[in-house]
Structure 1
Amino acid sequence: MDDIVTTSGMLAICDLDDIVPDTGVCALVNGDQVAVFRIGERELYAIDNVDPHAAASVLSRGLVGSLAGRVVVASPIYKQHFDLRTGECLEAPEHSVRAWAVRLEGNTVVLGRPER
């Protein structure tokens, strides 16, 4: 999808149907790699895609699930868990990543700025 800024000022990433439920995809936004996750039918989360432990762009390919009541992704390399709501690394909070504003506008997944 070309860079399309919506009337809300957010960037259109893809259609919801382009993301298989309970998986993630990677989007390049102004030079930043962002992992966008679809949980269930319509729940969306977005965090930085670079795993700070491995210095690799892999978080969008991690396994999603829940841990202690939190929705998380497990990095495919060293298996640290990142909270999809906040970007916090549960095993090493000093290696947390940014969470991004993400939502649906119609059937389009749109991203805003990082939340921290």
Structure 2
Amino acid sequence: MSILKQVFTWWNGQTIGTRFYTWRFGNKIGQDEFGNSYYEGPKDNEGRPRRWVIFNGYAEASAIPAGWHGWMHHRTDIAPSQEEYQPREWQKPHKPNLTGSPEAYRPKGSMTSNGTRPRVTGDYDAWTPGD
């Protein structure tokens, strides 16, 4: 089943083409706490090394932590695995985008949450003829 997923799906792990390119040209740089693997390869047409990630499971760009995001986008040349990267004290632990999941943010009064939104001054009152 794994080989069929690689042939017919691009969103679940890596495809056959990505596996071949990674095997042929990729140099593994490191791995994050979610199991995503980061690679660097030959230079692109701008002279920068190509960088890519192979996701552990479902391919979701928001699953890349802040330190690795900076490295992927050439904000820094030193990968978090090559230094003692410590998040700032004000940074919260990384969470991927939860939209569409049971843990998504649902403010009070939204259609998907329980309860009603409290009335506030300035709420809209519908216009009726004769007012």
Please state which band the TM-score falls in when normalised by the shorter chain. under 0.3
More strand by share: 1
Higher relative CO (Cα under 8 Å, sequence separation at least 6) belongs to: 1
TM-score by length of 1: 0.26
Of the two, which has the highest radius of gyration? 2
More helix by share: 2
TM-score by length of 2: 0.24
